[in-house]
Amino acid sequence: MKQHLLSWTLWIPLGGAILMAFVPRDRVGLIRGWALLTTVGTLGTSLAVLAYFDKSQAGFQMVEHHQWIRAIGASYHIGVDGISLWLVVLTAFLWPVCVLASWNVTKNPKMFMGLLLALETAVLGVFLSLDLLLFYVFWEGMLVPMYFLIGYWGYERRVYAAVKFFLYTLLGGLLMLAGIVVLGFQAKHALGHISFDYKVISKLALSHDIQRWLFIAFFAAFAVKVPLFPLHTWLPDAHTEAPTAGSIVLAGVLLKLGGFGFLRYSLPLFPHAARAAVPYVVALALIGIVYGAIVCAMQKDLKRLIAYSSISHLGFVVLGIFVFTIQGLQGGTLQMVSHGLSTGALFLLVGFLYERRHTREIADFGGIAAVAPVYAGMFLIVALSSLGLPGLNGFVGEFLVILGAFVRNRTWAVIAATGVILAAVYLLWAYQRVFHGPIDIQENRAVRDLSFREGLAVVPLVAAIVLIGVWPKPFLERMEPSLQRVRARVVVGATAEPAAALRSTKAATQVGGR
Amino acid sequence: MYLGAFDLQRRRQLAGPLWRAARNRLYIDSFYEFLFTGVGKVVATALAFVVDTVWIDGIVNNVGRLMALLSAQVRRVQTGYVRTYALAVLAGGVTLVGLLVGRTH
Amino acid sequence: MPTPEIAWRAIAPELALVGGGILTLLIDAFRPRVRRDVLAGLTLASVGLASWFTFDLHDKREVVMQGSLAVDGVALFAKMILLATCAMAVLISYHYLTRRRIHRGEYYPLILFATAGMTLLAAANDLLLVFLALEVLSLPLYVLAGFARRDDASQESAVKYFLLGAFSSAFLLYGIALMYGATNTTSISGISRIVGAAEPRLVFFAMAMLAIGFCFKVAAVPFHMWTPDVYQGAPTSVTGFMAAGTKAAGFAALLRVFLVSFGPLQWDWRPVLWIVAVLTMVVGSVVAITQTELKRLLAYSSIAHAGYVLVAVVSASNDGTAAALFYLLVYAFMTLGAFAMIIASAPGGHERLSLSDWQGIGQRHPLFAGVMTLFLLSLAGIPPTAGFMGKFFVFSAAVSSGETGLVVVGVLTSAIAAFFYLRVIVAMWLQEPEPGAMPLGPSPALVAGLSIAAVVTIALGVWPQGLIELARNAGIFTG
């Protein structure tokens, strides 16, 4: 059983979706229950993965390797390491929350739940893949369910947001595809047979030139996903117009794919290019942190505000990754998990508010704390975690990132720190306008506090937020060995050009003929 | 209130500039409010609604519009007349001949 | 002159097809009132028989009939695609023709003869046979394009196809004549042995002429201009057949001529075809953006796909040929599927041709819209569909041959193309249906055909190993 644990985790959601196709469309209760059961089942297997995870190992664990497309050197190769472990658990953890949040979807709930489950498999696939073609199939495979979730069940500008999301992400992904194909052939030149296997490719010694182009190709896809300034404009629209579950999924998990991509692919595979790119990427990350926060403050739509806050928070992740210090790397990785929980919770809570008042405009609220104190309390905890209050999860990640940046370059750390201050500005100001003050608008008096189902969705998130904030050790220590390994590859990587025999494609083709 | 030499009320009415400054917290608060809330808001609004919405998003949306325009223009080449199509075949053929035979020199 | 040996076994597939054609023609001539399903059944039987014969040859690698016919992996694989295309075409056209009141008996012999021409073209190892096969496949297609006798668009498409087809055939023939002048042979393998020593200007001139003929047939830019009009005007089932079949046959012949005959000259023609490939991918993708008529949109999509196969041709390698074969098979199924969906979209003689007709279908008929979405995603090349795997193999072959530039263009045009496929998907699912919209018009045979196409599209997307391995082994020319 342990041997196939990852495959179970990966395929249960899709299996659930396929089986759900046989449920009649009107048995809504059955549909919801089945979706919940499936997602909780996946959570269970992911926790088993967590339990079996050996925290002293830096390499991949619970690896499964089967034939897939032998002709092209692509195989079904999955595994988990310190970097992907918590992302997988985060995914499995957030999905039941999404199902609970979408309990009241009336328009074709069967299709909604089906797509949501299919999306879970695609996302888990990206985290677990150890074969580049498999990775790509899951990466692009994510697009279609997400596109429909936004476009069909979203709000007013949903079609525009969905198309924008799709094309933006697709373009980045397609450029990465070109990179993947080239990478597969680099393997052929070095080893004689084409391969897309991660382990094989990570042993290649690529010339600096090729590294640079490949880094750019992969960067296109990851930068859009993070999102890194200035490729971020798809995010506010997508997040705002998506239904609640869509926003939670987008913010909670999909945005992590960019950072994950950098850690898993860009840094270890193209170390020289990554080193060269540091000034530019850090600049973009810092701009994202500050810019995201400033623009955030002026937003009038609550969801849009949270969306821009994501841009700012994820700037921290990228900064942490690209300073190449172990604190930065750990901070960045932990921040991915923290952000997923905090921002996911924020979107969840805003979704509850929308269900009651059918508006997202901050101006339409005021004084909610008086009528819904439990809700206001939960919101406060989550907001404080998002701005990085010590004792909650956001602080650990952000602090480590700033510390890691400080070691490398003090100015960077200072700029990043202002992001924390700005976060306080926009979050507290928004909180004040929504929850405090007198109740000017009559409808706000009728806002109900959290129901049992809603509480069931929120409380685990808040608990996790507090847990990571107070006791980050188990999280950090499992990440460390794998991150140390990434660091070793990119910091102490070979600086000399590898031997000519392993170099460019062109030379080999022209000499070898067809 | 009369506390002898220290008549507060009279003091208040005969306020000097130093007193006024102290009362207004040395104008630090006002300065901060002007700088951060006032100027900051202007900058933030500019960033949010000009840079992000008009400029950056503008580029994104205009790429799409450019493609559509390009498509509409190229589409006009399809005239529907066989003679045009035959001419295109001829032109293409001549070009191919030129390119291929040209390689022999 | 000795009596030529007739390799009966090698030409058995063609004999089955032609025999079936003659049989159905005679039956239709002497018994005009015969039931159409008899004719259709006979057609499918011929195809089945031809498939059996083709399979029978699968381990043979030889050149027969005095070197004019090749029995090799490429020819057999292409025949497989063509026979499947023919069968699919019969399935999807049956009820459609009846609904449009054009279900005349001669449809079946025409389809069979055209298919026979196509299979011959894929196996032709002599330029004269290439020309012959091309004509055998084209003439029935001209008639089929105009099959809807009372429809002006159909007649127009037939005339246009005929005129332009004759025009480009003339170039082809001229090229063959020049080639004979330069090398004193019309045998494809023969030419490959002499071409290095022949008078270069003559050879390259001939090459250009031959290229015109082939590029016309497969709709490469700038020889593509007939495609939108002809695809739009012809009866939809014929369009599907044309789109899938002529490309497969045309590319098989193009590969054979350029990789075998002109193999030694590949560093000369590859850059030129590079330009054609880029133009084809770009024009096909960009112009499709503003199309609102579905058949025309699919016509431009066909052009773009031809561009991707050209990338495989320019790669000029075994991998490239295998990728091209794989792509052509996948392409046949997804294009036929898409056109079949158009047929299924409305009852009676009408079809939902305009984009606005497709608005909101997803709300009322989710399964229908779902299947169409599958084909559109496959055409766009989104994983995990067969269309993606096809593109992946083509790009791999290109990189392997050093043509990374083509891969970048291919990737960018894929992104552009995604836009217009997405537009149809958006219309189906995310827009409100017009009031009083037509119901759907599926029929049993159509559903059978669609199911096969859909299954292939998903199956090859997830498990392409078997087929690509087959294509790899097949992708070698004999002779």
SS (H, E, C) A380-400: HHHHHHHHCCCCCHHHHHHHH
For residue C138, the 8-state DSSP code is H
**C205/B67 CB distance under 8 A:** no
| CA distance, residue B66 to nearest chain C CA (Å) | 11
Please give the share of chain A, as a percent, with pLDDT higher than 70.
Answer: 95
Residue at C3 is within a domain: no
> What does the pLDDT look like over B24-54, one tens digit per residue?
777 777 777 777 777 778 888 887 777 777 7
CB atoms within 10 A of CB C22: 14
Largest Cα separation within chain A, whole Å, is 80
Residue at C444 is within a domain: yes
Dist CA C374 CA A425 (whole Å): 47
Please, which residues have CB within 8 angstroms of residue A75's CB and are 6 or more apart in sequence? A65, A66, A67, A68, A69, A131, A134, A196, A197
* Contact indicator for A111, A120 with CB cutoff of 8 Å: no
Query: Which residues partner with C64 through β-bridges?
Result: C69
- Name which residue leads in pLDDT, C302 or A297: C302
Q: What is the pLDDT of residue A192?
A: 83
* Contact indicator for C78, C331 with CB cutoff of 8 Å: no
* Contact indicator for B90, C262 with CB cutoff of 8 Å: no
- Average pLDDT rounded to a whole number, residues A96-107: 89
Closest CA to A333 of A83, A104, A513: A83
Kindly report whether the global pTM for this prediction surpasses the value 0.80: yes
Chains near A with 3+ CB pairs less than 8 A apart are: B, C
> What does the pLDDT look like over A396-455, one tens digit per residue?
999 999 999 998 889 999 999 998 888 888 899 899 999 988 888 877 888 888 888 888
CB atoms within 10 A of CB A449: 16
Among chain C residues, CA nearest to A143: C382
Q: What is the pLDDT of residue A501?
A: 31
- Counting every residue, how long is chain B? 105
For residue A447, the 8-state DSSP code is -
Res. A215: pLDDT tops 80: yes
The angle subtended at Cα A233 by Cα A228 and Cα A236, nearest 5°, is 105
Helices A132-141 and A143-153, packing angle to 10 deg? 10
Burial of A445 (0-12, 13-18, 19+ CB in 10 A): exposed
Establish if B29 touches chain A: CB-CB under 8 angstroms. no
Q: What is the pLDDT of residue A493?
A: 52
Query: Which residues partner with A69 through β-bridges?
Result: A74
Chains near C with 3+ CB pairs less than 8 A apart are: A, B
C156 in helix, strand or coil? helix
Burial of A231 (0-12, 13-18, 19+ CB in 10 A): buried
Q: What is the pLDDT of residue A512?
A: 37
Res. C278: pLDDT tops 50: yes
Residue C273 pLDDT grade (very low, low, confident, very high; cuts 50, 70, 90): very high
**B68/C208 CB distance under 8 A:** no
Q: Give me the number of domains chain C comprises.
A: 1
Q: What is the pLDDT of residue A239?
A: 93
Dist CA C451 CA C471 (whole Å): 24
HSE (side-chain half, CA atoms, 13 Å) at C35? 3
- Counting every residue, how long is chain A? 514
- Average pLDDT rounded to a whole number, residues C319-339: 94
Q: What is the pLDDT of residue A396?
A: 93
Tell which of C204, C232, C268 to mutate to test the B interface (max B CBs under 10 Å). C204
A237-241, A439-443, C318-322: which range is least confident on average? A439-443
Chains near B with 3+ CB pairs less than 8 A apart are: A, C
Res. A500: pLDDT tops 60: no
Dist CA A335 CA A465 (whole Å): 11
| CA distance, residue B67 to nearest chain A CA (Å) | 13
Dist CA A150 CA A147 (whole Å): 5
Token pair listed for C382: 């989104």
Q: What is the pLDDT of residue B105?
A: 61
- Name which residue leads in pLDDT, B19 or C141: C141
> What does the pLDDT look like over C185-242, one tens digit per residue?
888 888 888 888 888 888 999 999 999 999 999 999 889 999 999 999 999 999 999 9
- Average pLDDT rounded to a whole number, residues C74-102: 91
ipTM: 0.89
Dist CA A226 CA A251 (whole Å): 10
Residue at C1 is within a domain: no
HSE (side-chain half, CA atoms, 13 Å) at C131? 18
Closest CA to C94 of C38, C24, C13: C38
Q: What is the pLDDT of residue A453?
A: 87
Res. A511: pLDDT tops 90: no
Select from C200, C208, C286 the Cβ nearest to the Cβ of B71: C286
Query: Which residues partner with A74 through β-bridges?
Result: A69
Structural domain of C184? 8-474
Residue A489 pLDDT grade (very low, low, confident, very high; cuts 50, 70, 90): confident
**B103/C204 CB distance under 8 A:** yes
* Contact indicator for C132, C262 with CB cutoff of 8 Å: no
Most confident of A190-194, A274-278, C68-72: A274-278
Res. A374: pLDDT tops 70: yes
Q: What is the pLDDT of residue A446?
A: 80
Select from B82, B89, B104 the Cβ nearest to the Cβ of C168: B89
Dist CA A361 CA A240 (whole Å): 11
Please, which residues have CB within 8 angstroms of residue A373's CB and are 6 or more apart in sequence? A449
Token pair listed for A26: 């009107």
Dist CA C289 CA B68 (whole Å): 6
CB atoms within 10 A of CB A207: 17
Dist CA C120 CA C379 (whole Å): 28
Dist CA A371 CA A351 (whole Å): 17
Q: What is the pLDDT of residue B14?
A: 62
Helices A109-128 and A5-20, packing angle to 10 deg? 160
Q: What is the pLDDT of residue A273?
A: 92
> What does the pLDDT look like over A328-351, one tens digit per residue?
999 999 999 999 999 999 999 999
Dist CA A477 CA A259 (whole Å): 19
**C290/B64 CB distance under 8 A:** no
Q: What is the pLDDT of residue B100?
A: 87
The conformational region for residue A470 under phi > 0 = left, psi -120 to 50 = alpha, else beta, is alpha
Select from B80, B89, B97 the Cβ nearest to the Cβ of C208: B97
**A294/B52 CB distance under 8 A:** no
- Average pLDDT rounded to a whole number, residues C5-9: 82
**C229/B92 CB distance under 8 A:** no
- Name which residue leads in pLDDT, C373 or C6: C373
Residue at C19 is within a domain: yes
Strand bridging mode C69-71 / C62-64: antiparallel
Q: What is the mean pLDDT of chain A?
A: 89
Residue C67 pLDDT grade (very low, low, confident, very high; cuts 50, 70, 90): confident
Structural domain of A387? 271-488
Strand bridging mode C69-71 / A61-69: unpaired
**C208/B101 CB distance under 8 A:** yes
Query: Which residues partner with A301 through β-bridges?
Result: A361
Res. A35: pLDDT tops 60: yes
Residue at C458 is within a domain: yes
Please, which residues have CB within 8 angstroms of residue C166's CB and are 6 or more apart in sequence? none
Residue at C70 is within a domain: yes
Residue A507 pLDDT grade (very low, low, confident, very high; cuts 50, 70, 90): very low
- Counting every residue, how long is chain C? 479
Dist CA A286 CA A338 (whole Å): 19
Among chain B residues, CA nearest to A305: B48
Dist CA C294 CA C297 (whole Å): 5
A445 in helix, strand or coil? helix
Q: What is the pLDDT of residue B9?
A: 65
Q: What is the pLDDT of residue A498?
A: 40
Token pair listed for C451: 């199911």
Type of residue numbered A384: L
* Contact indicator for A364, A440 with CB cutoff of 8 Å: no
H-assigned helices in C219-265: 226-233, 236-255
Closest CA to A90 of A264, A345, A321: A345
Residue A494 pLDDT grade (very low, low, confident, very high; cuts 50, 70, 90): very low
- Name which residue leads in pLDDT, A173 or A495: A173
> Count of CB contacts below 8 A, B vs C?
90
Q: What is the mean pLDDT of chain C?
A: 90
Dist CA C255 CA C404 (whole Å): 20
> What parts of chain B have a pLDDT lower than 50?
none
- Average pLDDT rounded to a whole number, residues A117-131: 95
**Which DSSP helix (H) or strand (E) runs through A177?**
helix A158-191
> What does the pLDDT look like over A38-77, one tens digit per residue?
999 999 999 999 999 988 888 899 999 998 988 888 999 9
Residue C99 pLDDT grade (very low, low, confident, very high; cuts 50, 70, 90): confident
Which position has the token pair 């021409």? C117
Establish if B38 touches chain C: CB-CB under 8 angstroms. no
Res. C421: pLDDT tops 70: yes
